[in-house]
Structure 1
Amino acid sequence: MADRIACTHTGSLPRPPALTRLHARRARGEAIRADEVAAAARAAVAEIVPRQVACGLDIVNNGEQGRESFVLYLRDRLTGLGGESLRGGWADVEAYPEFKAEVVAANAGKETASMTANLPAAIGDVRYIGAAAMQAECAEFRAALDAARPAPVGAFLAAPSPGIVASVVQNRHYDTEEAYLAALADALAHEYRAILDAGFTLQLDCPDLALERHGSYQDRPLSDFIAFCERVVTAINRAIAGLPRDRIRLHVCWGNYEGPHDADVPLAEILPVVLKARVGGFVLPFANPRHAHEHRCFLRTPLADDQVLVAGVIDTLTNFVEHPEVVAERLERIAQSIGDPSRLMAGTDCGFDTAAGRGRVARDVVWAKLRAMSEGARIASDRLFAGR
């Protein structure tokens, strides 16, 4: 926006407990009626869209209410999946066994859709069969938007990158990783285009471009990981070829979990590769205490003139409600690094519930944090746009 900092968020919002239970049971392989999940999700979306507007968000989404997680919902929209994938641990968590034991104990018995258990693999040709499901999701979201008063300024839907799908759904079929990424790109391109055709902004969720350094590449040289990032960005550009760059934003993070994060790859190492993605904006976490300083990377490696930055200024892993002045100060510092506050938006570090039931922040606190973000953006806007 030309005269103020707009507010958005990164994607998932807490699901109602009953819907969380349905997603968790379905993710475990239990027989759950599809119409029961759909009805619960539809009601959740209808409630969550106006609530985002009431919190002061300008660009809203459907909270990913109908998805079990930000990536594994695709098990119903892609062919060629079956068998089992084995996901390893994170280097920072493995380095602290006492911390790891506390995490395991805290999660024991929680009703969640796991991101590490019951994972499929690619065992055949991967093709997209999710057109009807995607159209239904878009129509459901559009109905909620049309009913919202006041109406939001804009709307987005997220979809995972070929790289994170390849990392979670491991290849047991294609001869090379490049061939697997290309197949995923061609399949996911249908979902990307459907989101744009429905009139929404597309957010590409690409945690793999940072997370996999301390995951599947933790025991390999940094150069190997950077080469992986190059292959993923090539696949992303293949998938979005011909699509409007200004309506696509790309989210990168180091994993939406509370942990030491002292094995994270620095943003400076990956930013030159990330910026090769042909998108109009980037969504990056800067409330995260491990990465809050890295907005300064844009002083040395700037955005293109037509790109925007959605800066995470709200932590999605703690129940602290950030003071609006803290939010404003974060936005002002980041604006100095990118050089133009009109190309800056306020956002969250990641989603609040990236897999159903895995969120760390209580539902009522989530809304308080989002209200604090919008108030902080207003304060920062008053300062940054004064006299313009």
Structure 2
Amino acid sequence: MQPHPIKTTVVGSMPFPGWLEFASMNLDKFGPADIAEMIDDAVITAIHDQVSAGLDVITDGEQTRLDFNLSFYGFINGIQNDSSETRKYGPPAHDQRGKNSIIEPLTAPKGLGVVEEYKRLKRLAPEGQRVKMSIPGPYTLSGRLNPGHLYKDRWEVTEAILPLVRKEIEELVALGVPEICVDEPSMSCYAYREDTQRFVDIFNRTVAPAVGKTRLSMHLCFGNYKGRSVGKKTLAPMLPDFLDMTVDELHSEMTVLNFTDVHLLERFAEKLDVAVGVIDVKSYYIETPEDVAERIRKVLPYVPAEKLAVAPDCGMSQTARWATKQKLKAMCDGAKLVRASL
């Protein structure tokens, strides 16, 4: 159940405070206790920024993840970094993120770290605050891995990662996490050229331990590395197959599409709650509450208010903190404007 019509939420990530970025590049100067204290402080900062903006549902800001999915490779055995393959100079693009080779079967004996993130968030968040945890799905996690001689292709790598993600989700459910958001932007980026029914099967097997036991959401976007998209920006190839995802809420970018696909949200809303991106994370134009209200009103003919959530298009990790705070405040205020007029 939503707390009220037009719920306000985020995808997952928040920008790092400047001091955390500096510290992460100078970890040799800090002891384990210093690092633990900094992580707590960073999460407290992310919580503060989200609560101050007025969000209904918050996250830990993914403050322990130095990259959306590359940081997870540190928890998985069998991966060797191939940073020498990366383009170092020129305009930022996804090929600067680096590739990694698989040198032995993939395992994660200590989990993927999300359980620890949730325990920290639960300890630090205000009493009664709605929270959720985000975790990349296996297809997205496979994207920066070279199969090597052990796996035939990306599909086989995905199948190797799938049980690792599923186990993490199972442990989160056991801890009572109220919402889990599975991030699968690679599925939305490549829906125009890949087997979408295969995507649905992968997703449904991944989340199987959580179905009916917690709220499940799914984030789909078209890429946001250094504020750049990478996928073909249209929802059309996802239909009708993505309607068969076993999920409670589907989140999609919409502002970056200039709302050209807004009518397609009606199909999703027939079966699911829908979270719609009404803040452009790739622009430093600071939306006003009136801008946000106008965008929400574009959605309401297709998604009933009681099934609608609003959020930024994507995670905020690639947006400066000063802008993030203003954008989230405008989003929450814009939602209030529309709520008051219903």
- Would the TM-score normalized by the shorter structure come out above 0.5? yes
User: Per the alignment, in what secondary structure is the counterpart of residue 226 of structure 1?
Assistant: coil
Q: Partners in 1 of 2:74 and 2:136 — Cα distance?
A: 14
State the Cα deviation string for residues 86-118 of structure 1 (Å, max 9, x = none).
9899xxxxxxxxxx95x35xx9xxxxxx98345
The corresponding residue for 1:219 is none
Q: Does 1:287 align with 2:263?
A: no
Q: Does 1:186 align with 2:166?
A: no
Structure 2 vs 1, CA of residues 144 and 351 (structure 1 numbering), >3 Å: closer, same or farther?
A: same
> Structure 1: 5+ residue runs without aligned partners?
90-99, 108-113, 214-221, 354-358
Structure 2 vs 1, CA of residues 7 and 87 (structure 1 numbering), >3 Å: closer, same or farther?
A: farther
The corresponding residue for 1:333 is 298
User: Per the alignment, in what secondary structure is the counterpart of residue 121 of structure 1?
Assistant: strand
8 Å CA contact retained: 1:181, 1:232:
no
The corresponding residue for 2:124 is 144
User: Per the alignment, in what secondary structure is the counterpart of residue 309 of structure 1?
Assistant: strand
Task: Report deviation, 1:119.
Answer: 3.5
User: Per the alignment, in what secondary structure is the counterpart of residue 337 of structure 1?
Assistant: coil
State the Cα deviation string for residues 213-263 of structure 1 (Å, max 9, x = none).
7xxxxxxxx5xx231x43333222111113235611000111115778697
State the Cα deviation string for residues 149-182 of structure 1 (Å, max 9, x = none).
6x42x11111101111111223222135443222
Q: Partners in 2 of 1:336 and 1:56 — Cα distance?
A: 25
Q: Partners in 2 of 1:129 and 1:203 — Cα distance?
A: 23
The corresponding residue for 2:178 is 200
State the Cα deviation string for residues 293-341 of structure 1 (Å, max 9, x = none).
2121133x33344x21111101112222211112112112212112x21
- 1:159 counterpart (117, 130, 135): 135
The corresponding residue for 1:249 is 217
User: Per the alignment, in what secondary structure is the counterpart of residue 208 of structure 2?
Assistant: coil
RMSD: 3.0
Q: Partners in 2 of 1:48 and 1:250 — Cα distance?
A: 21
Q: Give the aligned residue type for 1:373.
A: M
Q: Give the aligned residue type for 2:40.
A: R
After superposition, residues 118-137 of structure 1 pair within 5 angstroms as: 118-131=98-111, 133-137=113-117
- 1:302 counterpart (248, 252, 268): 268
The corresponding residue for 1:93 is none
Structure 2 vs 1, CA of residues 34 and 130 (structure 1 numbering), >3 Å: closer, same or farther?
A: farther
> Structure 2: 5+ residue runs without aligned partners?
none
- 2:44 counterpart (19, 43, 46): 46
User: Per the alignment, in what secondary structure is the counterpart of residue 314 of structure 2?
Assistant: coil
Task: Report deviation, 1:69.
Answer: 1.5
Q: Partners in 2 of 1:39 and 1:320 — Cα distance?
A: 34
The corresponding residue for 2:322 is 364
User: Per the alignment, in what secondary structure is the counterpart of residue 241 of structure 1?
Assistant: helix
Q: Partners in 1 of 2:3 and 2:73 — Cα distance?
A: 41
Task: Report deviation, 1:189.
Answer: 0.8
User: Per the alignment, in what secondary structure is the counterpart of residue 261 of structure 2?
Assistant: helix
Structure 2 vs 1, CA of residues 302 and 365 (structure 1 numbering), >3 Å: closer, same or farther?
A: closer
Structure 2 vs 1, CA of residues 83 and 260 (structure 1 numbering), >3 Å: closer, same or farther?
A: closer
Higher mean C-alpha deviation, range 116-125 or range 12-21: 116-125
Task: Report deviation, 1:264.
Answer: 1.8
Taking structure 1 as the reference length, the TM-score comes to 0.77
Structure 2 vs 1, CA of residues 269 and 177 (structure 1 numbering), >3 Å: closer, same or farther?
A: same
Q: Partners in 2 of 1:139 and 1:377 — Cα distance?
A: 30
8 Å CA contact retained: 1:70, 1:159:
no
Q: Partners in 1 of 2:331 and 2:222 — Cα distance?
A: 22
Taking structure 2 as the reference length, the TM-score comes to 0.87
Q: Does 1:168 align with 2:181?
A: no
Q: Partners in 2 of 1:350 and 1:10 — Cα distance?
A: 6
User: Per the alignment, in what secondary structure is the counterpart of residue 252 of structure 2?
Assistant: strand
Q: Does 1:345 align with 2:309?
A: yes
Structure 2 vs 1, CA of residues 262 and 165 (structure 1 numbering), >3 Å: closer, same or farther?
A: closer
Q: Does 1:274 align with 2:242?
A: yes
Percent identity between the aligned chains?
Answer: 22
Q: Partners in 2 of 1:368 and 1:38 — Cα distance?
A: 29
Q: Give the aligned residue type for 1:233.
A: V
Structure 2 vs 1, CA of residues 271 and 256 (structure 1 numbering), >3 Å: closer, same or farther?
A: farther
Task: Report deviation, 1:37.
Answer: 3.8
Q: Partners in 1 of 2:306 and 2:270 — Cα distance?
A: 14
Q: Partners in 2 of 1:232 and 1:25 — Cα distance?
A: 40
Structure 2 vs 1, CA of residues 179 and 77 (structure 1 numbering), >3 Å: closer, same or farther?
A: same
The corresponding residue for 2:335 is 377
User: Per the alignment, in what secondary structure is the counterpart of residue 131 of structure 1?
Assistant: coil
Q: Partners in 2 of 1:230 and 1:175 — Cα distance?
A: 20
Q: Partners in 1 of 2:230 and 2:159 — Cα distance?
A: 32
Q: Partners in 2 of 1:167 and 1:33 — Cα distance?
A: 33
8 Å CA contact retained: 2:189, 2:230:
no
Aligned residues: 337
